Chain A
């Protein structure tokens, strides 16, 4: 089946640093990828839609200068949390839409802890 990978799976960083998370679709080309955030015991909240070759579309309330998204190729999207603060600590999950099936496949998630 389709596989989406995320790297790293877990990251701990100091407050003020920037963290980059990669999302890759391994066996299909994804023109559209999505980034979600999940707080403990809460559901997934869509942060932004990443479109290959164009700017990402951010959901209301998500700071685009804080969460930089780059979708430079059909198999890779990156999320950079800039100047991370403890309140950015969360579980970040990406998904990639397989255009052949119009289905989203989800990555395993990245747990970010900002000290």
Chain B
């Protein structure tokens, strides 16, 4: 059974810092890995999707990497802004997705 772990559970940084969120998964037989953002009381916003054959994806200030062999993915956020404050979830799987518990990010002005 796939298990997804996210570290850290919470992170507080001042505006402008670059930061890295970590995601690990136990079963490397995944079809893809997705990173999502969730604001309080809201649904999911898809940020980046990495297919199993890819090693990274970039969108604006976000960069996600995938290392299937080690069961790890990282989400890099450059020049963080207060508007980046949210919970970030990663999900991995093949026919179904398994979610991590998320990293709650707070970027202070």
**Chain A residues engaging chain B, CB cutoff 8 angstroms:** 6, 34, 36, 42-46, 49, 93, 95, 102-109, 111
Size of the B side of the interface (Cβ < 8 Å), in residues, is 20
Interchain CB contact (< 8 A) of A44 among B31, B41, B95, B99: B99
Q: Is the CB of A103 within 8 A of B101?
A: no
Could you tell me the distance between the alpha carbons of A104 and B41 in the complex, rounded to whole angstroms?
21
Q: How far is the CB of B41 from chain A (nearest CB, A)?
A: 7
Residues on A with C-beta less than 8 A from B46 are 105-106
Residues on B with C-beta less than 8 A from A93 are 43-44
A interface footprint on B26-57 (CB within 8 Å = 1, 0 otherwise) = 00000110101000011110100100000000
Interface class of chain B by DSSP: strand
Q: Is the CB of A102 within 8 A of B89?
A: no
What are 25 A-B residue pairs whose CB atoms fall within 8 Å in the complex?
A6-B43, A36-B99, A42-B101, A43-B89, A43-B100, A43-B101, A43-B102, A44-B44, A44-B89, A44-B99, A45-B99, A46-B96, A46-B97, A46-B98, A102-B31, A102-B32, A103-B32, A103-B49, A104-B97, A105-B46, A106-B36, A106-B43, A106-B44, A108-B42, A109-B43
Residues on B with C-beta less than 8 A from A43 are 89, 99-102
Residues on A with C-beta less than 8 A from B96 are 34, 46, 49
Residues on B with C-beta less than 8 A from A107 are 43
A interface footprint on B53-93 (CB within 8 Å = 1, 0 otherwise) = 00000000000000000000000000000000000010100
Residues on A with C-beta less than 8 A from B89 are 43-44
Residues on B with C-beta less than 8 A from A36 are 99
Could you tell me the distance between the alpha carbons of A45 and B3 in the complex, rounded to whole angstroms?
12
Residues on A with C-beta less than 8 A from B42 are 108-109
